[in-house]
Chains A and B, each alone.
Chain A
Amino acid sequence: NAGVTQTPKFQVLKTGQSMTLQCAQDMNHEYMSWYRQDPGMGLRLIHYSVGAGITDQGEVPNGYNVSRSTTEDFPLRLLSAAPSQTSVYFCASSYTKDLGYTFGSGTRLTVV
């Protein structure tokens, strides 16, 4: 098992550009989530999904879109990047809602 794979690992965007952060897991996990972590801060939940076709908003969803067309993939789309979205983004997955989540290694995004 590769676990939770996030791509790219690093990205620099210009203000106003759009991009998609990829997250894939090969563990047949139903539950997946996206977090952002600003420098020196804790993790904040952006969006989460409880299965293919089902997504919901977390604590800080504005400026981000998600979709879950397959169990394996949960991409995070930045619609129009802003400097305030400079952060490290983590994707996580879990087999059930009561078990622990497995996290990816993160995508470090800088918006200039």
Chain B
Amino acid sequence: DAKTTQPTSMDCAEGRAANLPCNHSTISGNEYVYWYRQIHSQGPQYIIHGLKNNETNEMASLIITEDRKSSTLILPHATLRDTAVYYCIVRASSNTGKLIFGQGTTLQVKP
């Protein structure tokens, strides 16, 4: 599975959009991009995933560049409860379900 690079930490003002970048320049054609987050001391929470097209659900939007070498998770109106560590994970469809976490980005939403 491709390696991902994320900034260690980011800040965002409450009510503004939070844009979290992820670089995955070695991604292959059959590899999905997944985003999870972990709020302090809780179990990780699945947010969204995509292969080629942009995706949106009730939590967030996922924008994948045309060359698929990077992606951005967008939280449209960040709240204090969105403060968490956000993980970008790339995993092949042929993978047997093994999900490997990196270090993630710590997002601090400030009032």
User: Footprint of B on A, CB under 8 Å?
Assistant: 4, 31, 33, 35, 42-45, 48, 50, 56, 58-59, 88, 90, 92, 94, 97-98, 100-106
Contacts and interface: CB of A to CB of B under 8 A. Distances in A.
A86 to B, nearest CB: 15
B56 to A, nearest CB: 15
Q: Chain B interface secondary structure, helix, strand, loop or mixed?
A: loop
A42 B49 contact: no
A29 B38 CA distance: 21
Contacts of A97: 93, 95-97
Interface stretch (B10-18, B63-71, B100-108): B100-108
Interface residues of B, number: 24
A4 B44 CA distance: 12
User: A33, A58, A97 — which one has the most chain B CB atoms within 10 A of its CB?
Assistant: A97
Interface in B78-111: 87, 93, 95-104
A45 B100 contact: yes
Contact of B97 (A31, A35, A88): A31
Interface string B28-56: 00001010101001111111010000000
A104 B43 contact: yes
Contacts of B46: 100-102
Given A50-B97, A90-B43, 5 more contacts: A45-B99, A56-B96, A97-B95, A98-B49, A101-B46
Contacts of A56: 96, 98
B89 to A, nearest CB: 10
